[in-house]
Amino acid sequence: MPTSRATLLLSELPTFDPKTGDLTVVIETPKGSPNKYDYDSSCGAFRFVAVLPEGMSFPFDFGFVPSSLGDDGDPLDVLVLMDAPTPVGCVLSVKLIGVIVAKQREHNGEWVQNDRLLAVATRSRRHTYINSLDDLRPELMDEIEAFFGQYNRLAGKEFKPGGRFGPDKAHELIDAGVNRYSRELSKPRA
C-alpha cells in the first residue's frame, strides 16, 4: 500500500500537547541502552548509529523535542527521568525541570551550542515531586554531565558544560528552538 506524505513525521509533531500543554518528547534511545539511535525524518524511521563502549549505557531515556531546532541543526535534545525505560519511538508528555547549557566541539573542530534539556515524564510515579534541578540528588547532575562528556570524547568530540539552569531557562530554549524551526520551515525550498 503506498504511503502518503500527508502522514505526519514524528519530527513534525506539535511541540506541546494541545490538550494538556505539556511538552512532547520522542524517545530515540531508552535508559540502559548501550545502543544509540537517531530518528531519520527522511524515511520516518529510527537508525542505529553507534554502540557505546563496554560498560556504558544511557542513564535515562534520551530523545528530542519535535518541531524544534537547536543551534546544531538538530531537534533539541532531552533527557527524560521516568520510572522504567520506554521503547524507541515512544512519544511522551513531559515537564521541563531544567537544562545543562553546553557547547560541543564537532569532528571538524567547530564549536556548536548543544544544550541538554532535562525533564520528568508527566506519567511518572517515582519522579512526580521533581519540579526543578534543585529537587534532584546533588551528585546526579555531575553524573549526567560526566556521561555526556565521556560519550562525546569517545566519539571524537568534546562536550563542555556552561551552566545548569532551571525550568524558566529551559522554556526559553524551547521557544527559541520552535522559532528557529518555524523560520527554517518557511524558507523557500531549492
Confidence (pLDDT) at 76: 97
Has this prediction a pTM greater than 0.85? yes
Handedness of CA 69, 186, 25, 6 (dihedral sign): negative
User: Using an 8 Å Cβ cutoff, are 161 and 152 in contact?
Assistant: no
Confidence (pLDDT) at 25: 98
Confidence (pLDDT) at 157: 87
User: What is the C-alpha to C-alpha distance for residues 75 and 181, in angstroms, rounded to an integer?
Assistant: 8
Confidence (pLDDT) at 8: 73
Return the CATH fold of 21-182. Answer: Inorganic Pyrophosphatase (3.90.80)
Confidence (pLDDT) at 109: 84
Domain ranges within the chain, ordered by starting residue: 21-182
User: What is the C-alpha to C-alpha distance for residues 36 and 172, in angstroms, rounded to an integer?
Assistant: 28
Contacts of 45 (CB under 8 A, 6+ apart): 39
Confidence (pLDDT) at 1: 40
Distance in angstroms between the alpha carbons of the first and the last residue of the chain: 30
Classified as helix, coil or strand, 122 is coil
Q: Where are the beta strands (DSSP E) in the chain?
A: 23-29, 35-40, 45-51, 61-64, 77-81, 91-105, 111-113, 116-121, 158-165
Q: Which of 186, 149, 147, 130 is nearest to 56 (CA)?
A: 147
Cα within 13 Å of Cα(60), Cβ side: 22
What average pLDDT values come out for the chain (190 residues) when binned by 10 residues? 61 92 96 96 93 92 97 94 95 97 88 95 92 94 95 88 96 96 81
